[in-house]
Amino acid sequence: MVKSNRQKVKNIYMDYASSASPNPSSIHLQGVGAKNDLESARKMVADVFSARPDSVIFTSGGTESNNLAIQGIILGWWQKERKSGKKLNAKYLPHIVTTNIEHPSVLETVGMLKERGQAEVTILPVEVSGIVDPKKIRKAIKKNTVLVSVMYANNEIGTIEPIREIAKEIRHYRKENETEYPFFHTDAAQAPNYLELNTERLGVDMLTLTGAKIPEAGRVGVLYKRKSVLLAPVMAGGDQEFGLRAGTESIFEITKFAKALRRAESEREKESKRLLGIRDYLYKKIQKIVPEVIINGEMENRLPNNLNITIPHIPSDLLVIELSSRGIMISEKSACKSGEEKASHVIVAIREKEGKNSGDTGSLRFSLGRDTTKADIDYTLKALSEILIKHKKWYH
């Protein structure tokens, strides 16, 4: 079944790649055809969101989508305030609330806005479990708060944030204060394949997706935007994507993404159940090999494909290299930060919350997927056991 799906995706890709790749903004026959394909893909994505097609904005990836959501809201707020005739000054800045375990494309973007004097930022610490308290989100909201951004599921430790509960707190605030702000954005890059993406039930105003996390989806990003959200473009050069994202759309990549997302949604429940079984099997077996193993983040509210652990007293990079030499690819931290020597900001965040020192901030992230089998897990367990015996001078 997997091979059949891959062949279908390959056929779609080759059909477009071998063509002249017409511009969907052109009015000639090929351009109109490309436009129809673009809108067909847009509707396909919108259906997964249970939303209107005009709420779907295609981008180059998750990082751009997060930047458009965050910077776009801030720019939109400034434009609105200027048009209203209000006297603006540095003491009254738009306020953003987020958490300390967000992806770098969120944390570094809000940090940049703060450094530029364009926004005030509150970064809330998550609990030891890796989950933020919705009541603390509500408490952090102020009169000038324009955006709350909390990821749907963490990319390193896999913890699933209480998005619906946070949305409820934000709605209550807006109702009590008779305001449209703050808007609620979630980085849902890790959610496809495993979590519901119905934006109405989630209660979000904006949602980020990336094809990088969906099998055979390619390098395309999406930003879902509710109609009521005032967003300004952050990139100039054209009026594509409803005037919010300049640049000619890549039709074959977008079509590939839409079909892959739809397929992932149809297989979501079955695949989640399968991966949950082998993920828990992996963890129980590791506990037998290493009784003192530390689980990073709670197990209950966690993506079924994610296991993030710390094995005390042995360098995690050593284990990554050793496992890699045996054909087992795991990671220490977000791929966006894998080249840095310092520990993962996510692991440091939950360690600090526990009141522990940073001695054991190394981590191993096992990411399971559509092709992962129990035989793969058994091979991994055997290899890990052999490696720990080999390096017992570290371990003991």
Question: Which residues belong to the active site?
Answer: 336
Tokens at residue 106, please?
A: 């969120």
User: Distance between CA 23 and CA 28 in Å, rounded?
Assistant: 9
User: Distance between CA 231 and CA 235 in Å, rounded?
Assistant: 12
Tokens at residue 146, please?
A: 């324009």
Read off φ and ψ for residue 298, nearest 5 degrees: -75, 160
Sheet holding 206-210, edge to edge: 56-59, 221-225, 206-210, 183-187, 145-149, 95-99, 120-124
State the residue for tokens 């082998």: 278
What value does the CA radius of gyration of the chain take, rounded to a whole number of Å? 22
User: Distance between CA 82 and CA 368 in Å, rounded?
Assistant: 49
| Cβ neighbours of residue 171 closer than 8 Å, sequence gap 6 or more | 203
Q: What is the distance in angstroms between the CA of the first residue and the CA of the last residue of the chain?
A: 46
Whether the CB-CB separation of 332 and 362 falls below 8 Å is answered with: yes
User: Distance between CA 105 and CA 221 in Å, rounded?
Assistant: 13
Which whole-number Å values give the CA distances from 325 to 174, 236, 364, in the listed order?
A: 54, 45, 15
Whether the CB-CB separation of 302 and 159 falls below 8 Å is answered with: yes
